[in-house]
Amino acid sequence: MASDKKRRNLPSLELYVPEPKFRPGDEADFSDVEVLPAGETRRPDTAAAHDEMHDLAYGLVRVLGDDHKAVGPWDPKLDPDTLRKMLRAMALTRAFDQRMFRAQRQGKTSFYMKCTGEEAVAIAATFALDRDDMTFPSYRQQGILIARDWSLVDMMNQVYSNSKDRLKGRQLPIMYSTKQGGFFSISGNLATQFPQAVGWAMASAAKGDTRIAASWTGEGSSAEGDFHSACTFAAVYKAPVILNVVNNQWAISSFSGFAGAEATTFAARAVGYGIAGLRVDGNDALAVYAATQWAAERARTNKGPTLIEHFTYRAEGHSTSDDPSQYRSADEAAEWPLGDPIARLKNHLIALGEWDEERQEAMDKECAEQVKTAAKQAEKNGILGHGLHQPLETMFEDVFEEMPPHLRKQEQEMLAENRAANNVAKTR
């Protein structure tokens, strides 16, 4: 009884529910977002102990300043040709996204997801990796394939689920997969790619290989159990892997606070696991390149994994099934303080005297024409919704090296039923 009386004097418990700062109709104001000056964040040796770099998980690695010049210890000092190639890959990815988005609206495919405003996260990182390093992407890193000069037609065939789709129509559009491209199968189940990447990296180390793995996931997916399992294994076995968290502020309709952003940074999760953590300006292509290059060297020299948080913004909808105007301020993308990654890299090249607006305009047109030509070629192989493009029996293939008897029986039953149905249809 005494205990009950004592408790009656306490205030009632209250459940805290995160709420975004801006909703539809609000004026976006990011003045409270701390953007450190470019070049201010220190760059430790890649062999430094993880507990000597805790500050980097709370700071912000930036290279490009407001004057569009590269400064500070993280400047990778890339030559102009490499910068132009990176810029073109980003522009081509944006053109690809625009074309495929339009194709979905025209009914040529069922689904698409853009990476507008996040192109640097995948492309700059890919330029910093070796060509044979294995990537485990989420559904917004199509730029990896484009940075590796993968066939746009092949990618579109998968989006259209047509007769030339290497996945035979068995994956949701945009969930690419190519072993030759070092691009692991995208999964709609969030965060599964993180433990897969760690496992692949562990196997690479166990075999005495030299290849490392890199994986990407959204900040919302970092709340999944797979994320934490991956971090545990990566830390314990010092797996040669780069774990990228793309903090673009929003999941499909819930803001980053639901994944823990109000409490601390996502890079800070590395501190608890005893691995290196970096927080990077995700719209600064040079910063993304430099951070990935640093983490790759750390992995290749057996110093363990790195968790990189890419601080960026999802400029458009989560997918073609999403309407962001229903849950966020209309001017958020325009007010985002870190700008547009393509414009920032373009302006950097102009500041170097290695580029100009006329060449940018010409390149954008060239990219649009390249994508248009690829789309016409892919559409000759069929589009989604124009009938079955793959033989029925492919439904049972590519699961087992040798098909077990029970699946063989099911396949035969299905084909028999299909023949019977066709015969009935012919007699009508």
> Which active-site residues does the annotation give?
314, 318, 327
Strands of 241-247's sheet in order across: 134-136, 213-218, 241-247, 306-311, 276-281
Number of H helices, E strands in the chain: 13, 5
Distance CA 286, CA 269 (A): 24
Distance CA 257, CA 249 (A): 8
Q: In the chain, how long is the greatest CA-to-CA distance?
A: 86
Q: Where do runs of H (alpha helix) occur along 106-142? A: 119-128
Q: Where do runs of H (alpha helix) occur along 274-313? A: 285-300
Distance CA 22, CA 325 (A): 11
Distance CA 391, CA 382 (A): 14
Distance CA 254, CA 261 (A): 12
CA-wise closest residue to 308 among 221, 235, 218, 243: 243
272: left (phi over 0), alpha (psi -120 to 50) or beta: alpha
Q: Could you tell me if 221 and 185 are in contact, meaning their C-beta atoms sit under 8 angstroms apart?
A: no
Contact residues for 267 (Cβ-Cβ < 8 A; gap 6+): 56, 57, 58, 245, 277, 278, 279, 307, 308, 309
| Torsions phi, psi for 295 (to 5 deg) | -65, -35
**b/e sequence 126-163, b meaning 16+ C-beta within 10 Å:** bbbbeeebbbbbbbbbbbbbbbbebebbbbbbbbbbbe
Q: What's the Cα-to-Cα distance from 212 to each of 131, 204, 356, 423, rounded to whole Å?
A: 11, 7, 37, 54
